[in-house]
Amino acid sequence: MAALYEIYDRFALIYEKNRGLFDMTHIFNDFFKILELSQGRLLDLGCGAGEPFSRMFIDKGWQVVGVDFSREMLKMASRYCPEMHTIYSDMRNAEFNDNEFNAIIAIYSLFHLPVKEHKNLFMKCFRWLKPHGKLLFTYATKDYTGYDEFDGCKEFMGQRLHYSHTTPEKLYKSLEKTGFEIISKDYRDIGGEVFLWITAGKK
Ligand SMILES: C[S@@+](CC[C@H](N)C(=O)[O-])C[C@H]1O[C@@H](n2cnc3c(N)ncnc32)[C@H](O)[C@@H]1O
């Protein structure tokens, strides 16, 4: 089976063709209101082409760092989000200073990591966020995989991709144990796919 980064290397062309297909401005606006900051530093984990979220932050004057392990997705980012500082890395190996970011996002990316590794990433995000910093990520649930808890492959655009999740209740507990306060949890249907969108804050 192809590695996930190879699959995303191949998907890059499709992403390129589908640019702007789904309008996520309302999600960005909701998150931006919660941030209560006009400018700051954002970390985008699994940034892909940096669209639409990082692009919208940059347009508001934010400094953005994007991490992705697909070279082809990062090539797109260099075209569509050239202001973003990109790091070619598996997000699990990325390291930053404590209190470095005002916000961290992981949009449609974190659910590819095995669920047993989520806690570690949450702990790192907590450290990297400044006090009152916010985390926004999409989480897979039963609505997407058909199971309460899942760790396996699902077909997406003709490829078998790895997805992993626990129940929302266990996810909330894990975030709270890490020190996060859950600010919002919304099931959103985008393009016929339902994911749980979580916003959490560092107290
Ligand atoms: C579905 S795309 C989403 C891209 C972007 N966040 C967006 O909303 O359009 C998932 C991205 O996460 C990246 N990704 C998945 N797992 C990763 C990992 N462990 N480390 C770094 N990047 C990863 C993929 O290469 C891909 O670019």
Q: Where are the domains of the chain?
A: 4-11+40-202
Residue 16 has a pLDDT of 86
Residue with CA at minimum distance from ligand 1 atom 13: 46
Task: Tell me, in angstroms, the distance from the centre of ligand 1 to residue 108's CA.
Answer: 7
State both tokens at 124. 């790192």
Task: Tell me, in angstroms, the distance from the centre of ligand 1 to residue 78's CA.
Answer: 15
Residue with CA at minimum distance from ligand 1 atom 10: 109
Residue 1 has a pLDDT of 72
Q: From start to end of the chain, where are the E strands?
A: 41-45, 63-68, 85-88, 101-106, 129-139, 150-156, 159-165, 180-190, 193-202
Residue with CA at minimum distance from ligand 1 atom 1: 108
Residue 41 has a pLDDT of 98
| Beta strands at 150-156 and 159-165: parallel, antiparallel or unpaired | antiparallel
Task: Tell me, in angstroms, the distance from the centre of ligand 1 to residue 169's CA.
Answer: 24
Task: Tell me, in angstroms, the distance from the centre of ligand 1 to residue 120's CA.
Answer: 18
Summarised one tens digit per residue, pLDDT across range 72-125 is 999 999 999 999 999 999 999 999 999 999 999 999 999 999 999 999 999 999
- The pTM (predicted TM-score) of the whole model is 0.97
Residue 112 has a pLDDT of 98
- Between helix 168-178 and helix 118-128 the angle, nearest 10°, is 40
* Closest to 203 measured CA to CA, from 169, 176, 184, 174: 176
With the most atoms of ligand 1 within 8 angstroms of its CB, the residue from 4, 8, 86 to mutate is 8
State both tokens at 172. 């909330």
Instruction: State which residues of the chain have pLDDT below 50.
Output: none
Residue 110 has a pLDDT of 98
Task: Tell me, in angstroms, the distance from the centre of ligand 1 to residue 109's CA.
Answer: 4
- CATH topology for the 4-11+40-202 domain: Rossmann fold (3.40.50)
With the most atoms of ligand 1 within 8 angstroms of its CB, the residue from 44, 112, 121 to mutate is 112
Which protein residues touch ligand 1 with a CB less than 6 Å away? 4-5, 8, 46-48, 67-70, 73, 90-92, 107-109, 112-113
Task: Tell me, in angstroms, the distance from the centre of ligand 1 to residue 18's CA.
Answer: 16
Q: Give the containing element (helix H, strand E) for 35.
A: helix 25-35
Let me know: does 76 contact 16? Beta carbons within 8 Å.
yes
Residue 203 has a pLDDT of 86
Residue 20 has a pLDDT of 86
